[in-house]
Amino acid sequence: MVLVKPVKRRGGTSGHLAALSDLLQDSRADAAKLFEHGLALLIQALGVDQALLTRVTQLGHEVLWWASAPRTPMTGIFESPEKGFCPFVIAHPDRPLTIKDSSLEPRWRKSQGFVELGIRAYAGVALKVGDRVLGTLCVQHHAPRAFTGAELALLKTMGHLVERALEAENTKQELQAALEALELSSAIVEDSALLSARSGLPNRRYLDIWLRSALFMARRRREPMALALWSQPMVAGTKGRLAAAAGHLRGEDLLVELSTDQYLLLLPHTSDSGADVLLARLRSTVGKHATGAALWLPDGKDMTMKSALRRVAKAFTDANREGSPLVWNHD
């Protein structure tokens, strides 16, 4: 996220404390500034190659923020943070992990962190909010290096600051989501046109409103959304089965009537394997119908749902042609 420029270091514990004080004054209202300047401070104070802030999601480990010293590329850690030593820190969150030289320690000399990424020295702490482990804060170096008690104290203190920032960010997100849910509920009460009289499900207009908050979270998390499309006639019992299916969805999922007798299920932060499980449960309620599915990652290349709907519609057509219960379009 940032390449650290060489600056004059403050020496000793008092220098670290002064730097932390400056950091808090500069980033009190902005978590991004704390992450950027805090990781830069770790590199400058500890003299290491890189500092990483990682998090754990349903998709696994990912690098949330990072800083590198000059001429020290990430060398694969950004794409595969799980190959480093972060999973061990997550598994043992109550104590920091320090490695002086992974090439000499039997426990680590065959690890992917050393063999594939070339990490010789490492120090990391777990980041927790309440009892939940969210990720890690760590520093890495290409050469052997011992970490002093004062340096570990700095790393732990920075970890506590990051935890508070993450907690505040989570609270902001929850409040924002709650506000948007309230606005959506109010809109439904005031405007019955958001629901289909035929199926009793939310309709396309409702979907447009729902996407405002769902896209914000999807882009922030950089997580995919699974879409599933199928058709079934509105015969006796269909409305009740659809209502039962909607009632058993997870909190962020949405089932809408996209058009007459055609239904779209949206599953935020869900992979294809996770969607397979949820769709199997859905079929036990609404019945077996040829279904098309696709993943959508809202980003700069695919900011709207248009292309995702095109892909899931093609999968739906293929499923009907093949007589298959489920066809994925991974294009």
Most confident range (mean pLDDT) of 11-15, 189-193, 228-232 is 228-232
Whole-number average pLDDT of the chain: 81
Higher-pLDDT residue of 223, 155 = 155
Most confident range (mean pLDDT) of 48-62, 186-200, 226-240 is 226-240
| Mean pLDDT, rounded, for 112-121 | 93
- What is the pLDDT confidence band of residue 9, given thresholds at 50, 70 and 90? very low
Higher-pLDDT residue of 285, 220 = 285
pLDDT of residue 59: 67
Q: What is the C-alpha to C-alpha distance for residues 163 and 157, in angstroms, rounded to an integer?
A: 10
pLDDT of residue 5: 42
Question: Are 2-172 and 221-329 in the same CATH fold?
Answer: no
What is the secondary structure of 40-79 as a DSSP string? Answer: HHHHHHHT-SEEEEEEEETTEEEEEEEEE-TT---TTTTT
Rg (CA), the chain: 24
**Model-level pTM?**
0.51
- The 8-class DSSP code of residue 6 comes to P
3-state secondary structure of 328: strand
| Mean pLDDT, rounded, for 105-127 | 93
Higher-pLDDT residue of 30, 252 = 252
If one looks up domain 2-172 in CATH, what number appears?
3.30.450.40
Higher-pLDDT residue of 223, 267 = 267
pLDDT of residue 132: 84
pLDDT of residue 2: 44
Q: What is the C-alpha to C-alpha distance for residues 99 and 102, in angstroms, rounded to an integer?
A: 6
Counting every residue written for the chain, the total comes to 331
pLDDT of residue 22: 59
- 223 within 8 A of 309, measured Cβ to Cβ: no
pLDDT of residue 303: 58
pLDDT per residue over 93-102, tens digit each?
Answer: 999 999 999 9
If one looks up domain 221-329 in CATH, what number appears?
3.30.70.270
pLDDT per residue over 214-233, tens digit each?
Answer: 665 555 556 778 999 999 98
Percent of the chain scored above 70 by pLDDT? 77
Any idea where the domains of the chain sit in the sequence? Answer: 2-172, 221-329
Q: What is the C-alpha to C-alpha distance for residues 302 and 299, in angstroms, rounded to an integer?
A: 5
pLDDT of residue 8: 38
Phi, psi (degrees; rounded to nearest 5) at 330: -100, 15
Task: Check pLDDT > 90 for residue 209.
Answer: no
pLDDT of residue 305: 74
pLDDT of residue 112: 92
Which stretches of the chain are DSSP H helices? 12-27, 31-46, 86-91, 112-115, 149-190, 204-221, 238-247, 272-286, 306-322
- The 8-class DSSP code of residue 62 comes to E
Task: Check pLDDT > 60 for residue 189.
Answer: no
Tokens 């598994």 identify what position?
91
Task: Check pLDDT > 80 for residue 317.
Answer: yes
Number of neighbours of residue 15 by Cβ within 10 angstroms = 14
| Mean pLDDT, rounded, for 242-250 | 86
pLDDT of residue 252: 77
| Mean pLDDT, rounded, for 266-282 | 86
